[in-house]
Amino acid sequence: MMRAPKLRELAEAIKSLLARPATVGFPKEPCHVYEGFRGKPEFSEISCVGCGACAEVCPANAIIVEDDKITESKNSNFVRRLTVRYDACNFCGNCEAHCITEDGIKLTMEYDLAVPDRQLAREFIEHRLICCELCGTVLTTIKHLLWIYYKLGPLAWGNPNLMVTAQREMLPVEPGLPGEMLRRPDIFKVLCPKCRRNVMLNDMNG
Ligand code: SF4
Ligand code: SF4
Q: Is ligand 1 within 6 A of the CB of residue 84?
A: no
The number of the ligand 2 atom at minimal distance from the alpha carbon of 57 is: 7
What is the pLDDT at residue 160? 86
From the CA of 109, how far away is ligand 1's center (Å)?
19
C-alpha closest to that of 106 among 114, 115, 98 = 98
Residue extents of the structural domains in the chain: 41-205
**What pLDDT, on a 0 to 100 scale, did the predictor assign at position 64?**
96
- The pLDDT of residue 2: 60
79, 128 contact by CB (below 8 A) = yes
pLDDT string in tens for the chain (206-residue length) = 566 778 889 999 999 888 888 788 888 888 888 999 999 999 999 999 999 999 999 999 999 999 986 544 444 568 999 999 999 999 999 999 999 999 999 999 999 999 999 999 999 999 988 888 888 888 899 899 989 988 888 888 888 888 887 877 545 555 555 556 667 777 777 888 888 888 888 777 76
Exposed, middle or buried by CB within 10 Å (0-12, 13-18, 19+), for 58? buried
Q: Annotate the chain with three-state secondary structure.
A: CCCHHHHHHHHHHHHHHHCCCCCCCCCCCCCCCCCCCCCCEEECCCCCCCCCHHHHHCCCCCEEEEECCCCCCCHHHCEEEEEEECCCCCCCCHHHHHCCCCCCEEECCCCCCCCCCHHHCEEEEEEEEEECCCCCCEEEEHHHHHHHHHHHHHHHHHCHHHHHHHHCCCCCCCCCCCCCCCCHHHHHCCCCHHHHHHHHHHHHHC
pLDDT tens, residue by residue, 183-196: 777 777 788 888 88
**If you measure from the C-alpha of residue 67 to the centroid of ligand 2, how many angstroms do you get, rounded to a whole number?**
21
Mean pLDDT of the chain: 85
Cβ–ligand 2 contact at 62 (below 6 Å): yes
This prediction has a pTM of 0.75
pLDDT at 69: 60
Tens of pLDDT, residues 51-74: 999 999 999 999 999 998 654 444
Sign of the dihedral defined by the CA atoms of residues 178, 180, 181, 187, in that order: negative
Q: pLDDT above 90 covers what percent of the chain?
A: 45
User: pLDDT at position 179, please?
Assistant: 56
Is the CB of 83 inside a 6 Å radius of any atom of ligand 2? Answer: no
| Strand boundaries in the chain, DSSP class E | 41-43, 63-67, 79-85, 105-107, 122-131, 138-141
Measured from the alpha carbon of residue 88, the closest ligand is 2
